[in-house]
Structure 1
Amino acid sequence: MSEFSNILSQFIHTKNIKVYPLSKYCDFDRSTIYKIINGKRKPPSPDVIDKMAEFMHLTPTEYAQFKEAYEITLIGSDNYYRRKSTENFLMHFPDNFSIQPGTESPASLRKDNISSPACASIQTQVELDYTLRSVLIKESCKGNGKVALFMQPDHKGLFSLLSSLNLRSSLEIQHIFCLSNHEILNKEHELYNLKYFNNIFPLYLRNLNYKASYFYDSIHSHFFNLNALPYFIVTSRYAVSFSSDYQYGIFYSDPEIISQFWNIFNSFQNKCIPLFQVFHLTPANAHMLQNISLPSSSSYLLLPEACFTPFISDEILAHALSPEISDRNKLLNFFSTFFKYTLNNLENMHVYFTKKGIRRFAETGLLREIPSDFYRPFLPSERLDMLQKLLYTCSQENYRMLKQPLEQLPVNLHLCVNETMGYFSFNNTEDQTTYLIFNETGLLSVFLDYLESLQDSSFYTSEETCNFIKYEIDNLQYQQLCSKRKSIAAPHQKGVSV
């Protein structure tokens, strides 16, 4: 019996469904339906699944369960939950305005004093949380504080604290954690590695001086199998070692012990790999874009506003690039070459975008993929030129418009992956365009697998997409016409007296 046949049998039994009328409604003979019910035949097409649900009068919740069982049976539970976990991460990708700096500064929290014995036991989770909070706050008040974390990113309270405080940029946060050496789902059917990324991501959004490194191992055997105190945090003055379930620990303030913890951490770090290559795109380091140039193999781009850079002509670029930017001529040549290279590789690009992203560009002339200090908003005439080129590309199906639920992707999300390279780009809370280039191949493969597996049902048809873009073009042309009429009428109106 399969997942699908089990739930189908359950609905037939609980709802007292007659098999023969069901088979007739779905245009199947009775024997075929029985084979599907008994799991001896693969589930039918999605259209037939919808017919079955309609005949059985499933509630929205029951229909969701029915569809989930169908997809699990088709692709396997591991594939289903891995892709579902990836989709949930993308759908809840935080916009920069959703992660705001904390209202309290570390200096205002100096009252979180801790006693300073050379060594003290910590016997409850509440006591451990209080100690960790106090140690971090005290270190953040220093001029050049330094914190080392050797722990899994699964203590949401701790990482929420780090992302919510107004920490000084001088506070350096080094973090080592273990990634699973094979894909494992937790009890919530989430990928461990993706869940960890989700927990540390707000630190990148806040633009903290945070550096994450990783090593591979079996997470459960490394941390949870009778390992008494596998985690520790060390600062310039204190160290805390604690259990993986955050129930108990030991606090240290002896300088020799603190020094030994730093030696241990540094020896571990020499054996680890940085999780990302991180950079902020500025006029001074625009050459870093060469590190994310698309190879000749297929690449998948998830950009709610679509990728417009191939459609920016040299003429538009020359007018839009800020005249106040340093080395402007050098940047003009660089971007012209970069945009043409992208245009020449369009046939290898699969760009997935949303209605909301296209509409935002049509209305504002702004692109999240280009930092605002590089250019002025594109003029309506320039937007029209770029939208016309997008329209032609969509008719070739290189660019595809997403349906629900992916239609609601946050506008701050930009993801590019292929077999050898991948990155996220986003605006952080200081409105800097930040790039996280994957060093870890596991995350790369998870996102690549998800985008490669998207079915046609996830997209609008080419005709529907082109009709939407034509509507935006017509709307923009109408606004231009109205604007011209107003400008022509304005001089005449000035001479009219009442």
Structure 2
Amino acid sequence: MEYLIYHLVTKENENGKGMIKFLGTPQLPGFSNMFPLIQGKTVLRHILSFSKYDSILEIRDDHNFQSLSQIISLYAQFANRGVRYETAYYYGTDFSHSAFPPFPYMIVTSQYALSLSGDYQNGLLYKDSETVNYLNQIFDALYEKTTPLLVPIQDLTSQLALNQKIMSCKSDSEILFQLVPCLVPFIQKIDIRKYLLDDMAQKEYFISAVTTYIQNLIHRHEQIHPLHFCSLNGIRRFLEKGVFDEFSTDFYRPLDKLDRKKVVQQFLKYAYIYDLRLLREDLGELSNGLKVYLSDSLGYIQFMGSDGNVIVLTLENPNFLSSFKDYFESMDEDLYYPKEEALILIQKLLNQY
């Protein structure tokens, strides 16, 4: 089965500007190996089905979260190569879209169609143009009924617009997950102008927008007291590198050592506004700048591509947000330090620099 799927993918990729349509989950055998072969102008259009949960016990073994983690990894690879990866989702396991219910999943290209069983162990391959066209129509009709999953925002102006949108959303709770903690709000004591590149476009607008954003963000966090996950190695990374993973380094220089310390000192000063959860071990890679933000009505996942560009993926479906919030809120207490101990450890680390 894996070889057959590999053949379908590579054949469509040879066209140079084809489209591969996939209805299914990342549990597809070879998912992480085959689709990254796609190059050039070939488009991968992917529909996922997400689960609805009836209890916290189900959420702790979160199929949605596991699937999204794999999707983000693949998306990052595609983004770095300029490949279009279009993702959409629907809730539930209703396979009424399938012409053959025992084979609810499918891969469709311009020349072939493959219906897949729910466990991906069996399939039906079609090569006649009439059936291939029919299954293309089935896929397209379902795609029209889905919700876009990942919406990329790849420039500074769009990032600032997203930040402003977050500020306008009412929420009783927020969750921040990023190994290098959210430190942008704590640059009030440094002169950011000296770090911006001379040829930066709209420099004055950026300074004004960031200043307003910081004021609003601290005020918001003082009211909401977000759940904030980070790691000691993440703070160490900032003290050593002096960069903010929220923004691409193509418009500013790394902070000098003195200003790095000032930023972390401000973070400690305002630690009282957070339900701080310093992780005992890093959950994920420090270098990709992964950040998860979740509120009652809006969320986003951000990461850094290998080319140094920041990619932001927005999440707006209430049920989807709820699943991810429950995942973090129910995280085992043994995975992070008590807050008092966490603050002592951060101060000890700061004293080393």
Query: Corresponding residue for 1:326?
Result: 201
TM-score (norm 2): 0.85
Contact 1:277 1:439 in 2 (8 A): no
Greater RCO between the two (CA within 8 Å, min separation 6)?
2
Query: Corresponding residue for 1:110?
Result: none
Unaligned runs of 5+ in 1: 1-127, 477-498
Separation (CA, whole Å) in 1 of partners of 2:303 and 2:28:
24
Deviation, structure 1 residue 296: 5.0
Alignment partner of 1:178 is 2:54: no
Query: Corresponding residue for 1:239?
Result: 113
Matching residue within 241, 255, 263 for 1:364: 241
Deviation, structure 1 residue 465: 3.2
Contact 1:300 1:418 in 2 (8 A): yes
Alignment of 1:375-454 (within 5 A): 375-394=252-271, 396=272, 398=274, 400-405=276-281, 407-411=282-286, 412-453=289-330
Deviation, structure 1 residue 136: 0.7
**Greater strand proportion:** 2
- Structure number with greater Rg is 1
Separation (CA, whole Å) in 2 of partners of 1:366 and 1:202:
22
Deviation, structure 1 residue 352: 2.3
Separation (CA, whole Å) in 1 of partners of 2:331 and 2:102:
44
Deviation, structure 1 residue 371: 1.7
Separation (CA, whole Å) in 1 of partners of 2:349 and 2:118:
54
Deviations 1:157-192 (CA, angstroms, capped at 9, x unpaired)? 1343113x2x224111111232224358999x8333
Query: Corresponding residue for 1:227?
Result: 101
Deviations 1:23-67 (CA, angstroms, capped at 9, x unpaired)? xxxxxxxxxxxxxxxxxxxxxxxxxxxxxxxxxxxxxxxxxxxxx
Alignment of 1:208-227 (within 5 A): 208-218=83-93, 227=101
Alignment partner of 1:198 is 2:198: no
Deviation, structure 1 residue 444: 1.7
Separation (CA, whole Å) in 2 of partners of 1:238 and 1:179:
26
Contact 2:180 2:238 in 1 (8 A): yes
Contact 1:185 1:191 in 2 (8 A): no
Check 1:210–1:323 CA distance in 2 against 1; reply closer, same or farther (3 A cut).
same
Alignment partner of 1:255 is 2:129: yes
Deviations 1:378-428 (CA, angstroms, capped at 9, x unpaired)? 11222122122112112x2526242435x5553233111122122211112
Deviations 1:248-271 (CA, angstroms, capped at 9, x unpaired)? 433333333332222221111111
Contact 1:301 1:417 in 2 (8 A): yes
Check 1:184–1:428 CA distance in 2 against 1; reply closer, same or farther (3 A cut).
farther
TM-score (norm 1): 0.62
- Aligned to 1:195, the other structure's residue is in SS state helix
Separation (CA, whole Å) in 2 of partners of 1:177 and 1:284:
26
Alignment of 1:16-415 (within 5 A): 128-163=1-36, 165=37, 167-183=38-54, 190-206=61-77, 207=79, 208-218=83-93, 227-282=101-156, 286-293=160-167, 295-313=170-188, 316-347=191-222, 348=224, 349-394=226-271, 396=272, 398=274, 400-405=276-281, 407-411=282-286, 412-415=289-292
Check 1:331–1:191 CA distance in 2 against 1; reply closer, same or farther (3 A cut).
same
Aligned partner of 2:21: which letter? A
Aligned partner of 2:290: which letter? L
Unaligned runs of 5+ in 2: none
- Aligned to 2:176, the other structure's residue is in SS state strand
Separation (CA, whole Å) in 2 of partners of 1:387 and 1:152:
41
State the identity %: 25
Deviations 1:419-458 (CA, angstroms, capped at 9, x unpaired)? 2122211112333211121134344212212333457665
Separation (CA, whole Å) in 1 of partners of 2:122 and 2:331:
45
Check 1:291–1:140 CA distance in 2 against 1; reply closer, same or farther (3 A cut).
farther
Q: How many residues align?
A: 342
Separation (CA, whole Å) in 2 of partners of 1:280 and 1:273:
21
Check 1:413–1:380 CA distance in 2 against 1; reply closer, same or farther (3 A cut).
same
